[in-house]
A = this chain, B = another copy of it.
Amino acid sequence: MKGSGLQDLQNARDERALPIDQVGVSGLRVPIVVLDRQRGRQETVAQITLSVNLPHHFKGTHMSRFIEVLNRHRGEVTMNTVPAILADLKACLAAESAMVEVAFPYFLEREAPVSKAKALMDYECRFVGEANGRRDDFILGVAVPVTSVCPCSKAISDYGAHNQRGRLEIQVRCRKRRSGGRDLVWIEELIEIAEASASAPVFAMLKRSDERHVTMQAYDHPVFVEDMVRNAAGALKNDPRISWFRILAVNQESIHNHNAFARLEWKRPGPGKGRRSDR
């Protein structure tokens, strides 16, 4: 019977001399705990992708081990715990490199600008962690919904100005510390930068007095998608903790059925030749 002493096909040799960059599982949905600046911890639900490299001489990887590793760590998936998850993946799967991608909604209680009424806002966040012999990486990303008023429409019209919901997505890589680990940037800080780069923030609840306030605030601060990425870039460059960033601004144009977008990537110039291991 095949069943007794089940064959381990994945461990068989592969003769095609083709190493594979990434092998793993995607679309895992699990509850996780992340860091929360105000409350310490926040429970949310994540979509997770886990992968490792596969040396050319192995036929396959053992997919169930990804789930075992995730199970052991799912209590906490944060900048502080991702290195341990990556080390565990490398060890359990006999791999040289490992990668973890985590996407989750993050909730913040926000106060309306005039009424001070409180309500939760949700922000799509994302971690990407990577570890191998040569490099060790961690990227934090946040997508922030905002209001944008078009400067051109305002300038050329006698009254009014088209505006729309926009989305400002910021990804950052933080400086490594000599003592080990990386500088910490809070999700909340990136949200603040994104909102300050747009015409006005977006809220879950606005009473009439608030709606009046944000309508005029937005009209007083018109921005193109180009302005949004530049405003955010200026703020991020001035933060010494941040060594690299990518910004994407997308406007759901209210006068079109398509979107306008701008994208800007930047890397802090290094002291000497940029070694990849410095990421």
Find out whether the CB atom of B10 lies under 8 angstroms from the CB atom of A215. Answer: no
Q: Complex Cα distance A148/B203, Å?
A: 19
In contact, B258 and A28 (Cβ under 8 angstroms): yes
* Nearest-Cβ distance from residue A147 to partner chain B, whole angstroms: 5
Interface residues in A231-277 by Cβ distance below 8 A to B read 233-234, 250, 252-265
Q: Complex formed: what's the CA distance from A66 to B37 in Å? A: 28
Q: Which label, helix, strand, loop or mixed, suits the secondary structure of the A interface?
A: mixed
- In the complex, which residue of chain B has the Cβ closest to the Cβ of A3? B212
Q: A131 contacts the other chain (Cβ, under 8 Å)?
A: no
Q: Does A44 contact B (CB under 8 A)?
A: yes
CA distance A26 to B256 in the complex (A): 11
Give every chain B residue within 8 A of A157 (Cβ-Cβ): 2-3, 211-212, 215-216, 219
Option from B64, B153, B164, B261 in Cβ contact (under 8 Å) with A26: B261
* B9 and A152 contact, CB distance less than 8 A: yes
Is A129 located at the chain interface by the 8 A CB criterion?
no
Report whether A252 and B156 are in contact in the complex, using a CB–CB cutoff of 8 Å.
Answer: no
| Residues of the B chain whose Cβ atoms lie less than 8 Å from the Cβ of A230 | 14, 16, 18, 20
Are the C-beta atoms of A256 and B29 separated by less than 8 Å?
Answer: no
Contacts of A31 in B (CB 8 A): 43-44, 107, 120
Q: Mark A194-213, 1 if CB is under 8 A from B, else 0.
A: 00000010111111110110
3 tightest A-B CB contacts, nearest first: A160-B219, A67-B205, A157-B215
Given A26-B259, A152-B211, 14 additional A-B pairs, CB 8 A: A3-B157, A3-B158, A9-B155, A18-B233, A25-B256, A26-B258, A28-B204, A51-B263, A60-B227, A67-B205, A71-B205, A74-B120, A160-B161, A254-B254
Residues of A within 8 A of B (CB): 1-3, 6-10, 14, 16, 18-31, 43-45, 49, 51, 54, 59-61, 63-64, 67-68, 71, 74, 105, 107, 117-122, 145, 147-153, 155-165, 200, 202-209, 211-212, 214-216, 218-219, 224-227, 229-230, 233-234, 250, 252-265
